[in-house]
Amino acid sequence: MVATILVGMLCAHLLCFSAMFLLISKRLHGKKMGMDFFALGNLLLGLAYILQLAEGGPTWSAVSVINHTLTLASPIAYWLGAMRFFGHMVPLWRPLIVFALMYGSAQVLVQWSLGPTARYAMLAAMSSLLFFLMALTIIHGVRTFAKDLYAEMVFFALLISGICVLNALKFIKIVDGGLDALQMDNSFQTVFYIYMSSLATILPPSIVWLVLRRLTDDLRDVAARDPMTQLLNRRGLSEALQLFFNTRTTAPAYLLLLDVDHFKHINDTYGHTAGDAVLCHVAQVLRTTARRGDLTSRIGGEEFVLICLDTDEAGVFRLAERLRAMLEAQIIDIPESTQPLRCTVTIGISPPFSSIAELEGAMRAADAALYRGKAAGRNCVQAPLPLNDHSALDAGKPGMLAHETAPTTAQSC
At its nearest, how many Å lie between ligand GTP and the CB of residue 332? Answer: 13
Kindly list the distances between the CA atom of residue 313 and the CA atoms of 238, 254, 316, 383, 392, in Å, as whole numbers in the listed order.
Answer: 21, 8, 5, 10, 21
Choose between 81 and 236: whose C-beta lies nearer to ligand GTP: 236
Choose between 227 and 340: whose C-beta lies nearer to ligand GTP: 227
DSSP 8-state code for residue 225: B
How many angstroms separate the CA atoms of 122 and 241, rounded? 56
How many angstroms separate the CA atoms of 345 and 301, rounded? 13
Q: How many residues sit in the footprint of ligand GTP (CB under 6 A)?
A: 16
- Selected from 143, 147, 248, 264, the binder of ligand GTP by CB under 6 A is 264
CA 170, chain centre distance (Å): 37
Contact 366, 385 (CB under 8 A): no
Closest residue to ligand GTP in the complex (CB): 275
At its nearest, how many Å lie between ligand GTP and the CB of residue 99? Answer: 51
User: Which segment (6-14, 168-176, 232-240, 268-276) binds ligand GTP by CB under 6 A?
Assistant: 268-276
At its nearest, how many Å lie between ligand GTP and the CB of residue 35? Answer: 36
Choose between 68 and 378: whose C-beta lies nearer to ligand GTP: 378
How many angstroms separate the CA atoms of 323 and 215, rounded? 35
Kindly list the distances between the CA atom of residue 241 and the CA atoms of 126, 256, 307, 369, 384, in Å, as whole numbers in the listed order.
Answer: 50, 14, 9, 21, 20
Q: Would you give the binding string for ligand GTP spanning residues 283-322, x where CB under 6 A is met? A: ------------------xx--------------------
Contact 35, 28 (CB under 8 A): yes
List the interface residues with ligand GTP, window 359-378 (CB under 6 A).
374, 378
Interaxial angle between packed helices 93-114 and 116-143, expressed in degrees from 0 to 180 and rounded to the nearest 10: 150
- Selected from 267, 269, 330, 337, the binder of ligand GTP by CB under 6 A is 267
At its nearest, how many Å lie between ligand GTP and the CB of residue 272? Answer: 4
Q: Does 275 bind ligand GTP (CB under 6 A)?
A: yes
Q: Does 412 bind ligand GTP (CB under 6 A)?
A: no
Choose between 105 and 412: whose C-beta lies nearer to ligand GTP: 412
Contact 305, 388 (CB under 8 A): no
Question: What is the identity of the amino acid at 285?
Answer: V
- Selected from 38, 49, 131, 263, the binder of ligand GTP by CB under 6 A is 263
Contact 92, 57 (CB under 8 A): no
At its nearest, how many Å lie between ligand GTP and the CB of residue 374? Answer: 5
Q: Does 259 bind ligand GTP (CB under 6 A)?
A: yes
- Selected from 53, 145, 269, 276, the binder of ligand GTP by CB under 6 A is 276
How many angstroms separate the CA atoms of 226 and 18, rounded? 37
Applying CB under 6 A, the residues found at the interface with ligand GTP are 259-265, 267, 272, 275-276, 279, 301-302, 374, 378
